[in-house]
């Protein structure tokens, strides 16, 4: 019988690479869909830009033809922009939504078609706690991840009759190149009393002292092997507490707390 197969977008580095390595170590066949090649030969690289539909379709087609099956699709590729909304260019706003949200939509659309025919499969979306605790000066990033959560939930209902499950994994801070790759603008910082630089700087320090990508990879692996997926998964002990607070706190109070930390 052929090996279980996973396709991961953005496995050239960071969380995607750690997840790919964890799955490969357990015997899975793993394809990475990214613009650049990662360091490991055993992770099969297919060039792909998730912001381009044709590129996604060709890459997924190639992976599924080579493997003959698709057990797991992990929509992980992502990037961040930061800055005040009123000074965010149309181009950057579109880029943020195109890569993080529409990129996942394109992959899920193509992956779902394959999984529906075979009658099984799992689709994991790498989301962020910013989806439920929205971050000032990262409004579009937060919106892209909130969109991903809702998309995964609705898609999961659509695909359940075909044996396909979806799950969003909401992460807190992870130590990766994500921080250095962020597209930042501090335009208008003087108007906002220095809050843009202070808020994003705080977030960056928090990311760089965050958990390792290997810890996320372990959680992803457990979900990959699990029979029944939860709709949402928050990774990390303190994050469980945050999830609990999210469920019980009135939204006004929650936003005041976020304002106190990042406002």
Residue 12 designated active-site: yes
Residue 9 is a binding residue for ligand NAP (CB under 6 A): yes
User: Residue 31 or 178: which CB sits closer to ligand NAP?
Assistant: 178
Query: If binding is defined by CB under 6 A, does position 236 make contact with ligand NAP?
Result: no
Q: Quick one: 71 or 173, whose CB is closer to ligand NAP?
A: 173
Cross-strand pairs, 233: 169
Among 210, 217, 220, 262, indicate the residue that binds ligand NAP (CB under 6 A). 210
Active site residue 127: yes
Indicate whether 51 belongs to the interface with ligand NAP (CB under 6 A). Answer: yes
Is residue 19 a contact point for ligand NAP (CB under 6 A)? no
Residue 77, interface with ligand NAP (CB under 6 A)? yes
Site for ligand NAP in 100-139 (CB under 6 A): 126, 128
When the beta carbons of 73 and 174 are compared against ligand NAP, the nearer one is: 174
Smallest gap from residue 235 Cβ to ligand NAP (A): 9
Distance of closest approach, residue 63 Cβ to ligand NAP, in angstroms:
14
Q: From the list 10, 83, 134, 147, which residue makes contact with ligand NAP (rule: CB under 6 A)?
A: 10
Among 31, 60, 82, 173, indicate the residue that binds ligand NAP (CB under 6 A): 173
Q: What is the DSSP string of the chain?
A: -PPPEEEEET-SSHHHHHHHHHHHHTT-EEEEEESS--S-TTSEEEE--TTSHHHHHHHHHHHHHHHS---EEEE-----EES-GGG--HHHHHHHHIIIIIHHHHHHHHHHHHHHHHT-EEEEEEEEGGGTSPPTT-HHHHHHHHHHHHHHHHHHHHHGGGTEEEEEEEE--B-STHHHH-EE--TTTTTTTTHHHHHHHHHHHHHHTSB-HHHHHHHHHHHHH-SS--SEEE-SHHHHHHHHHHHHS-HHHHHHHHHHHH-
Interacting residues with ligand NAP (CB under 6 A): 9-10, 12-16, 34-36, 48-51, 76-79, 99, 126, 128, 171, 173-174, 176-178, 181, 207, 210
């Amino acid at each position: 019988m052929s090996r279980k197969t996973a396709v991961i977008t953005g496995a050239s580095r960071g969380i995607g690479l750690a997840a790919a390595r964890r799955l490969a170590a357990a015997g899975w066949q793993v394809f990475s869909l990214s613009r650049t090649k990662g360091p490991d030969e055993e992770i099969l690289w297919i060039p792909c830009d998730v912001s381009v539909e044709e590129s996604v379709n060709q890459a997924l087609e190639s992976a599924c033809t080579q493997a003959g099956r698709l057990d797991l699709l992990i929509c992980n590729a992502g990037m961040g922009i930061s800055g005040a909304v009123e000074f965010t260019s149309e181009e950057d706003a579109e880029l943020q939504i195109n890569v993080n949200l529409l990129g996942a939509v394109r992959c899920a659309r193509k992956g779902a078609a394959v999984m529906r025919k075979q009658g099984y499969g799992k689709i994991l979306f790498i989301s962020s706690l910013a989806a439920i605790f929205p971050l000032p000066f990262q409004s579009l990033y937060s919106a892209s991840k909130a969109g991903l959560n809702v998309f995964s939930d609705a898609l999961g209902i659509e695909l359940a009759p075909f044996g396909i499950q979806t799950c969003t994994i909401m992460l807190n801070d992870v130590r990766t190149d994500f921080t250095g790759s962020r597209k930042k603008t501090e335009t208008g910082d003087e108007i906002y009393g220095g809050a843009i630089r202070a808020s994003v700087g705080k977030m960056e320090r928090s990311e760089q002292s965050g958990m390792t990508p290997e810890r996320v990879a372990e959680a992803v692996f457990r979900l990959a092997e699990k029979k029944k997926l939860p709709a949402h998964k928050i990774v990390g002990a303190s994050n469980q507490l945050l999830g609990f607070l999210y469920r019980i706190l009135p939204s006004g109070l929650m936003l005041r707390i976020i304002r106190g930390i990042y406002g």
